Amino acid sequence: MLDQTGPEMDRKSWMGLLARAPQARLDALLRQVGGLPAHDWLRPPETGGVMVRGRAGGTGAAFNLGEMTVTRCALRLTNGAVGHAYVQGCFRAHAERAALVDALMQTGRADEIRSQVLGPLEREETERRAARAARAAATKVDFFTMVRGED
């Protein structure tokens, strides 16, 4: 759950960040660094359901809570780098862009992608979360006890 900042971000972290990213923003950032590179599909985008599990009592036996939509794909850039994506929702374009970023991160352009695409996505997500956390913090109850009685 810790937010991993730029340089330490590993593949697991950036795939998660891409899965949660707003599709339009990911698309815009990718276009700013030269658009969508040519690629072949290893697995064209496919939308399916993932059964989300919970635990009884939060810590006990696993149970099936319900499904969520996920779109996945795999592709290969012309230089051979392979990218995978599993993103939340039904948008094929989102999965494609996420897989392109994953593939580009295996190439010499990794630093550029990290600073120009992943960095902004992560900062914006952190800001969105902080904005909610700040609002929640303002609704925290400070109990005080009324002093009553005559003595």
Partner 1 sequence: MYVAVKGGERAIDNAHQWLAEERRGDTGVAELSLDQIRQQLGLAVCRVMAEGSLYDPDLAALAIKQARGDLIEAIFLIRAYRTTLPRIGHSEPVETSAMRCDRRISATFKDLPGGQVLGPTFDYTHRLLDFALAAESEGLAEVAQAAPDPAPKPRVTDFLDRDGLIQPEMPSDATPPDMTREPMEYPAERPLRLQALTRGDEGFVLGMAYSTQRGYGRNHPFVGEMRVGTVPVEMEIPELGFAIEIGEVQLTECETVNQFTGSKTEPAQFTRGYGLVFGHSERKAISMALVDRALRWEELGEDRTGAPAQDEEFVLSHADNIQATGFLEHIKLPHYVDFQSELELIRKLRADALAATQKEAAE
Which of 7, 35, 57, 149 touches partner 1 by CB under 8 A? Answer: 57
Cα–Cα distance measured from residue 25 to residue 30, given in angstroms and rounded to the nearest whole number: 9
Is 65 near partner 1 (CB under 8 A)? yes
Is 26 near partner 1 (CB under 8 A)? no
- Residue ranges in 86-145 that form contacts with partner 1 under rule CB under 8 A: 86-90, 129-141, 143
Stretch that binds partner 1, among 13-21, 31-39, 106-114, 115-123 (CB under 8 A): 13-21
Q: Which residue has the tokens 């985008």?
A: 45
Cα–Cα distance measured from residue 136 to residue 5, given in angstroms and rounded to the nearest whole number: 24
Stretch that binds partner 1, among 30-38, 52-60, 105-113, 116-124 (CB under 8 A): 52-60
Nearer to partner 1, 110 or 133 (CB): 133
To partner 1, the closest distance from the beta carbon of 24 in angstroms equals: 12
Which of 8, 12, 80, 151 touches partner 1 by CB under 8 A? Answer: 12
Which of 5, 69, 79, 115 touches partner 1 by CB under 8 A? Answer: 69
Q: How many other CB atoms are found less than 10 A from the CB of residue 131?
A: 10
Cα within 13 Å of Cα(9), Cβ side: 24
Do the beta carbons of residue 126 and residue 3 sit within 8 Å?
yes
Q: Which uninterrupted H or E stretch holds 85?
A: strand 82-88
Whole-number CA gyration radius for the chain:
21
To partner 1, the closest distance from the beta carbon of 33 in angstroms equals: 23
Structure tokens at 72: 């996945």
